[in-house]
Structure 1
Amino acid sequence: MEGTYMNMNVSVLLVNQDFCYAATHSLKYFYTATSGIPHFPEFVTEGLLDGLPITYYDSNIRRETPRQDWMAETEKYWDEQTQISIKTEKSFKGNIAVAQQRLNQSGGVHSFQRMYGCEWNDVTGATDGFNQYGYDGEDWLTLDLKNRRYIAPVEKAAITKYKWDHQKGLIERDINYLTQDCIDWLKIYLVFGEKTLKRTVLPSVSLLQKSPSSPVTCHATGFYPRSVMVFWRRDGEQVYEDVEHGEVLPNEDGTFQNSVHLTVKLEDLDSRRYECVVQLPGVQEDFVTRLENTNQAAEGSGSSGLIIGAVVGVLLLVAIVCGVVIWKKKKDAKKGFAPANSEY
């Protein structure tokens, strides 16, 4: 990786840094190529640091861009990253065509994805890495770090597995990135983004219900950091039955949102026995919103909300590419991203 980062003494940069604001940190990159979706980018990449977007590229803007001010580099640096992403875009589009051929598919909406990155625990020092490929929302290939081989959960991917397993140089390159380079850059980015990553943003909490017979949703949004506890209580005790937990999802401003759904009897809607609780790391006070009828404001130490007749005005930034669910996915000589295997 060239530019400012490479000009810094990494060992000096990381000395005595306080990473105690989280135990496990992650650096992840997502690549998604799609076909058959009009007016939508055919290729999109995004880099995430502890769930916070830090880089972005798509085939419409054709420019690798920083998503955080502290990720800004020289123009030359981002020009180099753009050229690499353009090459990767071409490779991923080709991979869709190959997968369609092997699966005897023609036309329709298809997606090919890669998720890779690393994790580091700042308390134990433990690290982990992952490199996964998916097609049409299902697992396609996964790198087995321990046994230094790829795993193909579907028969149609066996051809690629066999090819990549016999290119030991490629596997060693990937493993070296995931276990060494990725960890190094993760630590560097944590230093650069320390002020942003250490901040605390309090949530806004609302209770939502489509109809008296539908589940009640406790929706917390606008909070940071990502790790938050959202749950229902009845008479002061946490409720586990008839509760469905949603995923923590990102907002466009770098904050997060989460929802928990409670199925409750109609006669209990106005009993004042239920309350939604939101707990944020580093904040001693819980955000409590009591379940009441549609005509009364909710009480609590957090932001108040109302049960309303329809879920309106709640914008969910879901990890979806135009209806295709993102399946559960820095450096080479010149950049902070792992190179993609082009020979498919």
Structure 2
Amino acid sequence: MEKLLLLLLFGHISEAEKHSLKFFATVSSGVSNVPEFIAAAQVDDVAAGYCDSNTKTIQPKQDWVTDYFKDNSQQQLWFDKQCSVNQPQILKTILHYFMQIFRHDKGVVLQLRSGCEWSETSGQVAGFMKFGFDGEDFISFDMSTLTWIALQPQAVSVKQRWDADRAVTEANRNLYYQICPTLLKTTLTYGKSSLLRTDRPSVSLLQKSSSSPVSCFATGFYPNKAVLFWRKDGDDLHDNVEEGEILPNPDGTFQKSSDLDLSSVRPEDWGKYECVFQLDGLKDDIITKLDQSVIRTNSVPVPPSEFPVGPVVGGVVGLLLLTACICGLLIWRRRVHGYQRGLEVDTELE
């Protein structure tokens, strides 16, 4: 039953044909050593573009993004304006609005995570938008009801003001059900040779010491729709197993680990255990038997290309994305009529 649930959750057809366009941005006040405004975009969880208050221009992170801008030079100019002027001003206004509510005067950060998902199989579209303030979720937009959800008591008044503006609600509906999916499909056209590929990982068994858990470590795989788990005698294991998250590698591929505690396992039973890796696009599972002779420990150096960089690189990238929000690629602008008016969005291109 557990294996069946895994197949339903990570099936090769449905999940492999589900795509996403995500935007992250952050604006801060009184925070030193970081740009005041940071923005990033991801397509299928792969970094596509970046800009901040220092660069003030879109920095493509993939060759196919560069190709898109070559064919759409006016779009690049428009995006640059969004990143250098429009979006920083919008988010600064919202930040100061929230600062008034919380009575903060410095050292705070506003975050926004936004975007859309599109199923190539069913055509279904889903959008999402959530504001965070000072490290905590504050308010989000419910796409099913087209209303705001207050995630903190202080957000209730904001919800009431933003819900009352039906023009903004309609703009959000159009943004996440029309504009964002269209942009997502366009980027998939340019990036399909890269985004729709399948990269087979290398899988290793690692152990710090003889008393440490054995880590099954898979790296270099793509896409990120993968499952890594331990089995004993053909049955999935959950006890004494600590599963890690899927983390990005610097080259755009992904890595994942799963640790098995062997403290209560008899040496003669090791042969009953195996690590299983499943990836959308790969026909066969990658199975690694638990064998002392193949385990790499501190006494057997791991080649740099296979070193688990996730705790370092993944942590840095995760921090950036956690503290980030929407960038200018979301085709909308702000018309401000005082803090009391809240947020107004206009999705028309200038």
Return the TM-score normalized by structure 1: 0.78
User: Are the aligned partners of 1:185 and 1:330 in contact in 2 as well (CA < 8 Å)?
Assistant: no
Question: Any residues of structure 2 matched to 1:115-264 within 5 Å, and which?
Answer: 115-264=113-262
TM-score by length of 2: 0.77
Note if contact 2:126-2:143 (Cα within 8 Å) is conserved in structure 1: no
Give identity over the alignment, percent: 34
Matched, 1:326 2:330: no
Query: Is this contact kept in 2: 1:96–1:112, CA < 8 A?
Result: yes
Secondary structure (helix, strand or coil) at the match of 2:121 reads coil
Look up the SS of the partner of 1:171 in the other structure. helix
Larger RCO (CA within 8 A; separation ≥ 6): 2
The separation in 1 between residues aligned to 2:103 and 2:15, in whole angstroms, is 50
How far the C-alpha of 1:151 sits from its partner, in A, is: 0.8
Larger deviation: 38-47 or 316-325? 316-325
Tell me by how many angstroms 1:213 deviates. 4.1
User: Residue 212 of structure 1 contacts residue 266 of structure 1 at CA under 8 Å; is this kept in 2?
Assistant: no
Partners in 2 of 1:327 and 1:235 — Cα distance?
43
**Corresponding position: 1:78 with 2:76:** yes
Q: Which 10-residue stretch deviates more, 314-323 or 139-148?
A: 314-323
SS in 1 for 2:183: helix
Report Cα offsets for 1:164-211 as digits up to 9, x if no partner.
112211111111110111122222222221111221211122333344
Residue identity matched to 2:188? L
- How far off its partner does 1:246 sit? 2.2
Question: Judging changes above 3 Å, is the alpha-carbon distance between structure 1 residues 172 and 227 closer, same or farther for their aligned structure 2 residues?
Answer: same
- Greater displacement, 279-288 / 204-213: 204-213
Counterpart CA distance in 2 for 1:70 and 1:324 is 23
Counterpart CA distance in 1 for 2:165 and 2:125 is: 25
The DSSP-based 3-state class of the residue aligned with 1:60 is coil
- Taking the aligned partners of 2:195 and 2:202, their CA distance within structure 1 comes to 19
Structure 1 regions of 5+ residues with no counterpart? 1-18, 299-305
SS at match of 2:200: coil
Residue 339 (structure 1) aligned to one of 309, 324, 332: 332
Q: Which sits farther off after the overlay, 265-274 or 29-38?
A: 265-274
Q: Deviations over 1:255-279 (max 9, x none)?
A: 1112222222165468343322212
CA distance in 2, matches of 1:248, 1:336: 26
2:171 alignment partner AA: R
Written as runs of structure 1 = structure 2, the 5 A alignment for 1:49-60 is 49-60=43-54
The answer to which of 29-38 and 78-87 deviates more is 29-38
Q: Which runs of 5+ in 2 are unaligned?
A: 1-12, 337-341, 344-350
Q: Once structures 1 and 2 are overlaid, which stretch shifts more, 275-284 or 28-37? A: 28-37
The Cα shift of 1:224 comes to 0.6
Distance 1:330 1:238, change over 3 A: closer
* 1:337 partner amino acid: L
Q: Does 2:58 align with 1:64? A: yes
Aligned to 1:43: 37
Indicate if the aligned counterparts of 1:319 and 1:325 stay in contact, CA closer than 8 A: no
Look up the equivalent residue of 1:281 and give its one-letter code: D
* Residue identity in the other structure for 2:274: E
Name the Cα RMSD after superposition: 3.2
| 2:294 aligned partner | 297
- Do the aligned partners of 1:144 and 1:151 also contact (CA within 8 Å) in 2? yes
Work out whether residues 209 and 297 of structure 2, in 8 Å CA contact, stay in contact via their aligned partners in 1: no
Q: Given the superposition, is the C-alpha separation of residues 213 and 100 from structure 1 closer, same or farther in structure 2, using an over 3 Å criterion?
A: farther
Q: CA deviation at 1:242?
A: 2.2
Q: Which amino acid aligns with 1:123?
A: T
Secondary structure at the aligned position of 2:174 is classed as helix
Distance 1:314 1:34 in 2: 32
